[in-house]
A = this chain, B = another copy of it.
Amino acid sequence: VTKPIRFEDGSLRILDQTLLPHREAWIAIESAERMAEAIVSLRVRGAPAIGIAAALAIAVEAARPGTLASRRERVARAAALLRASRPTAVNLMWACDRMTACAAGGAASPETEAGAWAAALRAEALRIWEEDLAASAAMARHGASLFPDATRLLTHCNTGGLATGGGGTALGVVVELHRRRSEEGRPFHVWATETRPLLQGARLTAWELRNAGVEARLVSDGAAAHTIRRRGIEGVLVGADRVARNGDGANKIGTYALALAARAAGIPFVVVAPRSTLDPSCATGEEIVVEERNPLEVTAFAGVRTAPEGFAAENPAFDVTPADLVTALVTDGGVFRPPADAFTGVDTRS
């Protein structure tokens, strides 16, 4: 299990994901400012991971010496700063909400009780982390049950331990299947897309798969449909950034094309996401606004410019896969079969 965050003896560190896979550098995070910078610059990324990271950064602020009043003020400032660091991330808002609610309760005012109040915030942050690990474990179990025999799967972007508190969503299922096939003494192969423009597949998923001892191969995004058709792929597993009420799912750009390829090949296309990703306020994928990122991410590759100077580019950060292409939606609360109110009755935590 790859945990992207360490919190030992009150000291918080994150693995700098911008340096992976070439260097494994742990950065000490002593303040909310430092964590906000790490989130903005994608040193820590993945919706569940940044929620946990923000909660722990708030706990660190709460533990710094001072009167209870000054600590409360510091925590409020920290939460506001962290929320603003990645405005589209639902889990980040949700984690900051929980920490703020916890900070509002607890000890009344005496300075002697500031320590107990800070300890409560620390416990809440660790609870958020623990809950995420439990959710990952549940998704891995539910997702793996869909593939009792599969030995050849394809995945997109990074949805592993690095993107979460240490378990993973789609990649968590993949690693669980690797474990099961290994126990059964059977081979298991994974194909990972490189995931342009930011190469999370090549940089992060490849690193995690290697660490987990999974037999894996990288393919370019454009090669995925061919690979699915010609290499006997038995299922495509992806994560989600937001799932609408009808089961339409927004996820990393490139996902929709994989869903079309899976449909054409007649194999399952499975979305794996915690309930915190389900958005009951969103009726269909048409309502999801697609974030456009910096075009320079497309006109350059790994820091090297590829297109002619100043050439225009479009850089949608995610796309929306219609529910009718989704074979199953795996959550920590169980497996759903879109379309049509995919997660009716699920506690969505939102």
Contacts and interface: CB of A to CB of B under 8 A. Distances in A.
A306 B219 contact: no
Given A206-B307, A313-B217, A222 B301 contact: no
Contacts of A305: 22
B191 A220 contact: no
B299 A254 contact: no
A142 interface: no
A316 B223 contact: yes
A contacts with B: majority SS: mixed
A167 to B, nearest CB: 21
Contact of A260 (B264, B298, B302, B312): B264
Interface in A199-232: 199, 202-203, 206-207, 210, 216-227, 229-231
A223 B222 CA distance: 10
Q: How many copies of this chain does one complex carry?
A: 2
A112 to B, nearest CB: 51
A348 interface: no
A85 interface: no
A176 B265 CA distance: 36
Contact of A220 (B22, B225, B298): B298
A308 interface: yes
A306 B217 contact: no
B311 A222 contact: no
A178 to B, nearest CB: 15
A275 interface: no
Contact of A253 (B226, B229, B256, B304): B226
Contact of A299 (B202, B224, B315): B202
21 contacts: A22-B305, A197-B220, A202-B307, A217-B313, A218-B298, A218-B311, A219-B313, A219-B314, A219-B315, A220-B221, A223-B315, A223-B316, A224-B257, A225-B256, A225-B319, A226-B256, A226-B320, A257-B257, A260-B260, A302-B304, A303-B304
Interface of A: 21-22, 191, 193-197, 199, 202-203, 206-207, 210, 216-227, 229-231, 253-254, 256-257, 260-261, 264, 290, 295, 298-299, 301-309, 311-316, 319-320
